[in-house]
Amino acid sequence: MTGPTEPDGRTMRERMLAGDLYLADDPELIADHVRAQELTDAYNATGVDERARRTEILRELLGSIGEDTAIRPPLRVDYGSQVRIGSGTFVNFGLVALDVVDITIGDDVQIGPNVQLLTPLHPLEAGARRAKWENAAPITIGDNAWLGGGVIVCPGVTIGANTVVGAGSVVTRDLPAGVLAVGNPARVVRELPE
């Protein structure tokens, strides 16, 4: 990876999407972030009877969203465009999806209230942090997974299909398919039946 003081000819957006060090206060990224905040504010202001309007906003905000997927407001994202959600997924109130890089949520996923999907990382070196450099790692949630209320998924984590993560768990590393994981950090406690 090119260091933060060595220009490599890429835009900050290109660096960000590649998971490399970038500066979030880049004017192009600020404009993208403002656009996302305007759309999430509009989405969060919709009423329960405005399903068509909600779908329209989500299609404009997110990278993609499948059929019969429901997201209850409020919703918060960094950019929205890196969030891809499959079909038949249900997201309860208060999802925070910091999508500096890709967040991929499969089909038929259940996400409880106040779940956080966090892709951003910050350098451990104090000078780089002071200079406001950051990077990110993608998150993937497999088909038919269930994240209980208050789950936090850290950068770079993949959660396998059919896996259940207990409420309040902090997922710091990959979880295989078809298991129950709980705790901080989340640990597999047992396999689940098909």
pTM: 0.94
**Domain span at 110:** 12-191
Render pLDDT for 115-149 as a digit per residue (tens, 0 to 9): 999 999 999 999 999 999 999 999 999 999 999 99
Mean pLDDT of the chain: 95
Residue 1 maps to a domain = no
Tell me which residues are annotated as active site: 122
Render pLDDT for 94-115 as a digit per residue (tens, 0 to 9): 999 999 999 999 999 999 999 9
Residue 67, both tokens: 């059929």
pLDDT at 4 over 90: no
The total domain count for the chain is: 1
Contact 111, 92 (CB under 8 A): yes
Residue 7 maps to a domain = no
Render pLDDT for 61-78 as a digit per residue (tens, 0 to 9): 999 999 999 999 999 999
Polymer length of the chain? 194
Residue 49, both tokens: 């009877």
The distance from CA 138 to its chain's CA centroid, rounded to whole angstroms, is 8
Burial per residue of 122-146, b for 16 or more beta-carbon CB atoms within 10 angstroms, e otherwise: eeeeeebeeeebbbbbbbbbbbbbb
Contact 128, 108 (CB under 8 A): no
The CATH code of the domain that includes 118 is 2.160.10.10
